[in-house]
Amino acid sequence: MKTFSSLLLTALSLLTACSFGDPAVPDPTPTPPVATAGSLTFTRDGQSYTHRASATVEPGSAANNNRDVLHIRSVDFTAPTGTTAEYLDLQYFKPTGTGDVNYQLLGIYSSAKATTYAYAAQATLTKAGTGWSGSFEGGFQETGSNQVSSAITNGSFSEIR
């Protein structure tokens, strides 16, 4: 009877371990990070990032074609000391004197790639109280190419002031 009980317990242990899988094996399709208040998240070429962010507005002038320009700028404060921190600058514009609902995405500048992601760029933008929230994505195409060589996807930001 002891042998049967030992075999039964061993079998149950194996079944339990097999049914729950190996917890050390990561999910092959991880979900992109979600922005929390004051942060901006995005995925560039398959790698996910989370940065702190802030917002500034350049009032319309002759230098910017009489358009107000809203910058949502994020900085990676986890960069090692002595290195240049990466940043993204989301640039939205609207005609001066019009409401905030008129802002449109102009481009997404990445200091890491020293380029603007404007190919098929899409964005949402809302203002609640004093903070900006939204989503964004866009690609970069080399001049003369019809292929996207780098892409920013799953971008989001929340309550940026």
CA gap 17, 13 in Å, rounded: 6
Give the per-residue pLDDT at 154: 95
Whether residue 26 is contained in a domain is answered as: no
Q: Of the candidates 128, 58, 41, which has an alpha carbon nearest to the alpha carbon of residue 92? A: 58
Q: 13 in a domain, yes or no?
A: no
β-partners of residue 132 are: 127, 160
pLDDT in the model for residue 134: 96
Cα 127 from Cα 141, distance rounded (Å)? 31
Low-confidence ranges of the chain (pLDDT < 70): 1-36
* DSSP H/E element including 148: strand 148-160
**Domain contains 21:** no
Amino acid 103: pLDDT: 96
**Is 149 contained in some domain?**
yes
The tokens of 50 are what? 């989370």
Q: Looking at residue 79, what is its pLDDT?
A: 74
Range of the domain at 108: 35-160
Q: How many domains would you assign to the chain? A: 1
At 35 the pLDDT is: 62
Angle at the Cα of 122 (from 119 to 124), degrees rounded to 5?
Answer: 160
Phi first, then psi: what are they for 31, rounded to 5°?
-80, 145
Q: What is the pLDDT of residue 22?
A: 45
Residue 84 is predicted with a pLDDT of 80
Domain assignment of residue 19, yes or no: no
In the chain, count H helices and then E strands: 1, 9
- What's the rounded Cα separation, in Å, for the pair 106 and 97? 18
Residue 34, pLDDT score:
59
In a domain, 30, yes or no: no
